[in-house]
Amino acid sequence: MSESTQLDDSDSKPDDVEELVSEANVEMDVDSVFETYDANSDGKIEHSEYVAKHKAEVESGGVSSFIDRLLDDSPELRGQRLWVMFALSVLLVAAMNAYAMVREPELVKIENLVEHNNEVVSIEGTVLSWVEDPYSSGEDRVNIIIEDDTGVAQLRWYRFGEIPMIGTKVTATGDVIEYNGRLWLQALGSGALSWDESDVPDAPVIAISTIAANPQDFVGDAFTITGYISKPVNPNATFTSLDLRDHPNYGNHEHQMNMIIHSAPGQWLEAGQKVEITAVIEYSQKFLQWTIHTEGPEIRIVRAHEPQATTIGWSNYQTWSYNSGAKVLLVGEISGDEIIESGGDLRACVLNSGDLSSYEGEEVSFGGRLIWSTSYAGWCIDASGSIEVDLIDVSDAENLLGQLSSNPADTLEEVANGTTFLITGVVSGSTLMSETGDTKIIIANAVYPNTLAKMDAYVPVGQHYGWLEEGQPIVANVTVSWNSASSEFQLMVLDMVLTGEPTSANPYDLSDGAPAFYDLNKITSITGNIVTIDGQMYLQKEGGEQKIRINAQFNSIGLNEQHEGLTLKWTGRLIEVPDDVTLAHIYVLDNADVTDEDGNGIADDAEDA
């Protein structure tokens, strides 16, 4: 750019500024404004003077006229102006309320809820679980756990409406509440939760074994599954952890999975109950296991399978707590409102059993639900609800084995008539009860060598668990059937009661040689010295070479230094174990221990020595 050009530009700037100032003075000529509107020349422009100047425009009506009336300070218009302002304020408040109602709450991610404290927002996610009346206080409330891809939130819904099934994708709306570092959504009444039919999962029916093979394939999906639960569930229990198995009896199942029941089922669920549930699965990092989650009200009982009551006895009174809440059968003597141990001091109260006066002083089998009573300060058997009182009057039992076996013609008639007999006898031989089907036992009129009659009897699964010992007194309701294959009468046990203690341990002398078949599986006592050969423990005859392998109880006092080298009597179960390498059989005194009746930590044999 040339110097002359720069000079020309600099000279022109003051002219432009003066022109702009000149135009501004014209547009903002205050004197001309006052000449136009200040009619009384008092130096102030009143609203009435402005209205007078624009009278024609005001009289034409419209918004200008309305606003002029509001701004007019004439005394005759002040009352009207107040009413109009009041109406405007009411209209403004109503408009704001209407906007608040029709305004859609902001849809946020669960991880961002902390940014919306005390605001009404919506979240979208999948229902993981819900608990109705979480504190069992009668509160009209449900807690729903909802998960999206950013986190998990709790909806506390008061006066709740319909609750969707687990796995449903929902939209939840509520106030974001923060208290003591905890954050949740809170809602009242219907409308807090919404979903479409397309959001409800299909929940296909699958087997436990299918899930067990690849549990990760079912994460995020709902499914329907059938199985047997491992323990009883109280109708009001809002949270229960148990196992779902593919077999009702423990030890016979091939698969089991941990299951958590959210919310109260509203009915008793028995141990061994067959149920159908709709659930979801997730991995528990806390317990390092896969867990299925379901809702109590959604558990459906399969009535085709009837769970069996557990038989408990006075001898295992210390372990009754394991059956708390379960259906049980207990043999004892009726004494008022109690059932007591025959010839002992233990007792339990009976509840809701009706009039038992006709059984007063008699030994019976009483069935009900085992509960702990605070007022009684002990165990009680409750016969109310769906539990029926199961009473077998032991005193009416007869020794009918001889009659049945000695009169085959009459017995055949009884078979045809389906007659039920109440018999008494003892168990011949020790038998481990099957947990998968009927178990054959032998019932005799007396213990050998006083046996005059005995018959095979088939006991249904669930009537008794574990071992039935040699010489165990028994009372049973039975029917008689004819087995054409074996050409013999057989007893079919309907129910039974163990009425006393089995015979004492069978003494066995190692010098008698190898045990006979009828010695096996019985509780047996053998006297000898503990020796260890090649890391294996044996019980050896004192002064001899005969010995038998022994599996002693790990906490047996007979293994401590005080009893080392002593000849003691060991009691256990004599069993036969096959050896697949040598193709031989080995006899073992299993689960053996010494006797210490006074509990002073010294074996009775050692005290005698």
Tokens 């906007």 sit on residue: 99
Confidence tier at 38 by pLDDT (50, 70, 90): low
Assess whether 296 and 241 both reside in one domain.
Answer: yes
Assess whether 514 and 604 both reside in one domain.
Answer: yes
- pLDDT at residue 72 in the model: 55
- pLDDT at residue 28 in the model: 52
Q: What residue spans of 73-228 are helical by DSSP H? A: 78-102, 208-213
Per-residue model confidence as pLDDT tens digits over 428-469: 999 988 876 788 999 998 888 778 888 999 988 777 878 999
Q: Does 24 have pLDDT greater than 50?
A: no
Mean pLDDT of 255-267: 86
**Is 506:523 a contact under the CB 8 Å cutoff?**
yes
Q: Report whether the peptide linkage leading into residue 507 is cis, meaning its omega lies within 30 degrees of zero.
A: no
Share of the chain above pLDDT 90, in %: 17
- pLDDT at residue 387 in the model: 40
The closest of 271, 165, 261, 273 to 226, measured between CA atoms, is 273
- pLDDT at residue 587 in the model: 93
Please give the tally of structural domains in the chain: 7
Per-residue model confidence as pLDDT tens digits over 427-437: 999 998 887 67
Q: Does 229 have pLDDT greater than 80?
A: yes
Q: Among 47-56, 113-122, 567-576, where is mean pLDDT lowest?
A: 47-56
Per-residue model confidence as pLDDT tens digits over 281-315: 888 887 888 999 888 888 888 887 888 788 888 88
Q: Which residues pair with 145 in a beta bridge?
A: 129, 154
Confidence tier at 264 by pLDDT (50, 70, 90): confident
Assess whether 331 and 285 both reside in one domain.
Answer: no
Confidence tier at 389 by pLDDT (50, 70, 90): very low
Mean pLDDT of 225-246: 86
Mean pLDDT of 226-242: 86
Mean pLDDT of 316-343: 87
Q: Of 101, 124, 155, at which residue does a domain stop?
A: 101
- pLDDT at residue 604 in the model: 85
Mean pLDDT value across the chain: 80
Mean pLDDT of 476-480: 89
Q: What angle do CA 559, 561, 565 make, to 5 degrees?
A: 75
Assess whether 514 and 594 both reside in one domain.
Answer: yes
Mean pLDDT of 12-16: 52
Mean pLDDT of 362-382: 83
Assess whether 217 and 249 both reside in one domain.
Answer: yes
Q: Does 153 have pLDDT greater than 80?
A: yes
Q: Does 406 have pLDDT greater than 80?
A: no
Q: Does 47 have pLDDT greater than 80?
A: no
CA atoms within 13 A on the CB side of 153: 32
220/178: higher pLDDT: 178
Assess whether 194 and 288 both reside in one domain.
Answer: no
- pLDDT at residue 2 in the model: 44
Mean pLDDT of 362-370: 87
Write the burial class of residue 497 (CB in 10 Å: 0-12 exposed, 13-18 middle, 19+ buried). Answer: buried
Assess whether 296 and 352 both reside in one domain.
Answer: no
**Rounded distance, CA 372 to CA 364, Å?**
21
Confidence tier at 473 by pLDDT (50, 70, 90): very high
Q: Of 455, 477, 498, at which residue does a domain stop?
A: 498
**Is 498:448 a contact under the CB 8 Å cutoff?**
no
Q: Of 82, 101, 120, at which residue does a domain stop?
A: 101
Per-residue model confidence as pLDDT tens digits over 69-125: 555 555 555 555 566 677 778 888 888 877 766 667 889 999 999 899 888 899 999
Q: Does 360 have pLDDT greater than 60?
A: yes
Confidence tier at 570 by pLDDT (50, 70, 90): very high
**Rounded distance, CA 229 to CA 234, Å?**
13
3-state secondary structure 268-316: CECCCCEEEEEEEEEEECCCCEEEEEEEHHHCEECCCCCCCCEEECHHH
- pLDDT at residue 348 in the model: 92
3-state secondary structure 350-402: EECCCCCHHHCCCEEEEEEEEEEECCCCEEEEECCCCCCCCCCCHHHCECCHH
Question: Domain range for residue 511?
Answer: 506-608
50/607: higher pLDDT: 607
**Is 224:276 a contact under the CB 8 Å cutoff?**
yes
At position 265, the amino acid (one-letter code) is P
Confidence tier at 496 by pLDDT (50, 70, 90): confident
What CATH number is given to the structural domain containing 193? 2.40.50.140
Assess whether 361 and 331 both reside in one domain.
Answer: yes
**Is 124:105 a contact under the CB 8 Å cutoff?**
no
- pLDDT at residue 37 in the model: 62
- Could you tell me the two tokens for 378? 């002990």
Assess whether 21 and 45 both reside in one domain.
Answer: no
Q: Name every residue whose Cβ is closer than 8 Å to that of residue 216 and which is 6 or more positions away in sequence.
A: 283
Distance of CA 69 to the CA centre of its chain: 74
Q: Among 54-63, 141-150, 219-228, 552-561, where is mean pLDDT lowest?
A: 54-63
- pLDDT at residue 18 in the model: 58
Assess whether 231 and 270 both reside in one domain.
Answer: yes
**Rounded distance, CA 521 to CA 469, Å?**
9
Length of the chain: 609
- pLDDT at residue 3 in the model: 43
Share of the chain above pLDDT 70, in %: 81
Assess whether 23 and 76 both reside in one domain.
Answer: no
Assess whether 535 and 513 both reside in one domain.
Answer: yes
Q: Does 525 have pLDDT greater than 90?
A: yes
Helix 62-71, helix 78-102: angle, nearest 10 = 120
Q: What residue spans of 72-148 are helical by DSSP H? A: 78-102
Confidence tier at 6 by pLDDT (50, 70, 90): very low
